[in-house]
Amino acid sequence: MNNNPMLSEKAVITRLVAHIKDMTHEDRIQLLQYIEERGFREKRKYPRHDCDLSVCFDISDQSYDGAIRNISVEGVFIQTSKKFNIGDSLKMTFTLPNETYPLIASGWVARLTKYGIGVQFDTSDYETEFISSLLLLNAKEYFMAFGNRQDMDDEF
């Protein structure tokens, strides 16, 4: 590999495209996920909080159960063995610690991992805005009891 830092932008793009064309479809998907993961981490504005919350969620008129393993103002990571697609819309129901009533939030699948799905909240949804406000105000109280999950720490 030529590590010449003076390669023009056009030369870099040409070489990248050539390499990508030679990859299998599965390798292209892994590369895309790797690139998006790096960009996604840099875009994260709010901290995630480890948790262990039961969640029921609906995708394409099917209901599923899972566990929310971390949560932030912008979304959640749901541990599930089911397979979904990036962009799938969903509605989820869960109860935050110290809250009496379940919350309903809408969102979309933003990330797929071997452990489950990263879901970004739909910010146009009133209930989701409410959840975000609760988290901003009470995150320390809600999630101090949960330990750090090293196996899924970087999943969402």
Residue-level pLDDT, tens digit, the chain, 156 residues: 455 567 788 888 888 889 999 999 988 888 887 777 665 555 567 777 888 899 999 999 999 999 999 888 888 999 999 999 999 999 999 988 777 888 888 999 999 998 999 999 887 767 667 777 777 666 656 555 444 444 444 444
- Close Cβ partners of 7 (under 8 Å, ≥ 6 residues apart): 15
Q: What CA–CA distance (Å, rounded) separates 100 from 9?
A: 56
User: At 107, phi and psi to the nearest 5?
Assistant: -175, -165
Q: What CA–CA distance (Å, rounded) separates 128 from 126?
A: 5
Q: Are 10 and 38 in contact (CB under 8 A)?
A: no
> 104 is written with which tokens?
């309903």
- In the chain, which ranges are E strands? 49-59, 62-71, 75-79, 89-94, 103-112, 116-121
Q: What CA–CA distance (Å, rounded) separates 126 from 130?
A: 6
pTM over 0.85, yes/no: no
> 28 is written with which tokens?
């292209």
The CATH fold of domain 49-145: Thrombin, subunit H (2.40.10)
Q: What CA–CA distance (Å, rounded) separates 148 from 155?
A: 13
Q: Are 107 and 128 in contact (CB under 8 A)?
A: yes
Domains of the chain, by residue range, sit at 9-43, 49-145
